[in-house]
Amino acid sequence: MALIFDIKRFAVNDGPGIRTTLFLKGCPLRCVWCHNPEGLEDKPVKLYTKKKCIGCMSCVDICPVHNLTLTPDGIKDGGKCTTCGKCTDECPTLALQMAGKEWTMDELMAIVEKERQVMEESGGGVTLCGGEPLMHPDYALRLLTELKHRNIHTAVDTTLFASQETVRKVMPMTDLFLVDLKHMDSERHKFFTGVPNETIHDNIRLISESGARFWIRIPLTVGVNADDDNLVKSADFLASLPTKPEMVNILVYHDIGIGKHVRMGTEYNPQGIRMEAPDEALQQHAIEIFTNRRLKAIIGG
């Protein structure tokens, strides 16, 4: 069983139509701009929102290892947490929450089926996201197979940093891949994400050669990958594929991960890399680079 750390209903940016997005925990990358740091580790993670805390001491009293302390600055973690979840279950204001729990197939499908009508009417479906869903190939395949048996459109939002065996395993049950393309230079890719990019590019070629449907998603970030050299190389790479992506989504950088790191007690962008959102002119310039190579490109999506 993989852990799921979020279920987003009525999602409109995770593939076509209105979708239900299941977020699986665990990711082999460590992108400095990560939007979902609570999904990086393949285990439950506790989050604390100070402004919601009313100082009732419920969590302090219930903790079996006496890990929590109420201070003038809020609840402090003593570093002995076993992620048993008792404190989060006890918290009346949801100031403490646990990201990551096991769900049975029946429980997940009950949530999905509630949204069937709106998904069907909008041309939507279910998207597996993360983290990296391909870190759990057997579990992902079980989910995708069950969804296909229910005639629900499936999408996998992935870095494609996985074995080709894994990609081939999930491909028959995946209607659409949403693939990140973060940087064309492998050393720069490793600097910003913790891993090189050869496996990712090989897998993009694999799904292209197979005729699978896929979209490319580029997290456009000044200071990382928004320079002309990288954008041109990205566009040339995609234009050279035997089957082109149906869509290139230019995703404008934002720093939503900062607040999540605060809640986790960890640090966002510890290297201090300067990252900024591209202005509108740069966004349109990026679009032109892709459209000049007959690739459909849009902002967002």
Q: Give the pLDDT of residue 134.
A: 98
Q: 65 with 135, same domain? A: no
pLDDT in tens, the chain (301 residues): 789 999 999 999 999 999 999 999 999 999 999 999 999 999 999 999 999 999 999 999 999 999 999 999 999 999 999 999 999 999 999 999 999 999 999 999 999 999 999 999 999 999 999 999 999 999 999 999 999 999 999 999 999 999 999 999 999 999 999 999 999 999 999 999 999 999 999 999 999 999 999 999 999 999 999 999 999 999 999 999 999 999 999 999 999 999 999 999 999 999 999 999 999 999 999 999 999 999 999 999 8
Say which residues have a Cβ less than 8 Å from residue 290's Cβ, sequence separation at least 6: 231, 234, 235, 238, 248, 296, 297
Q: 194 with 54, same domain? A: no
Q: 87 with 11, same domain? A: no
Of the three residues 60, 82, 98, the one that is the final residue of a domain is: 98
| CATH number for position 50 | 3.30.70.20
Q: Give the pLDDT of residue 98.
A: 94
Q: 64 with 162, same domain? A: no
Count: domains in the chain: 2
Say which residues have a Cβ less than 8 Å from residue 179's Cβ, sequence separation at least 6: 158, 159, 160, 200, 204, 207, 214, 215, 216, 217, 245
**196: containing domain:** 4-42+101-299
Q: 137 with 157, same domain? A: yes
In 3D space, the residue among 135, 111, 154 whose CA is nearest the CA of residue 25 turns out to be 135
Give the H or E element holding residue 8: strand 4-11
Q: 16 with 127, same domain? A: yes
Cα distance between residue 220 and residue 287, in whole Å: 11
In 3D space, the residue among 186, 227, 179 whose CA is nearest the CA of residue 207 turns out to be 179
Of the three residues 98, 117, 138, the one that is the final residue of a domain is: 98
| CATH number for position 131 | 3.20.20.70
Q: 148 with 205, same domain? A: yes
Q: Give the pLDDT of residue 151.
A: 98
Cα distance between residue 162 and residue 133, in whole Å: 10
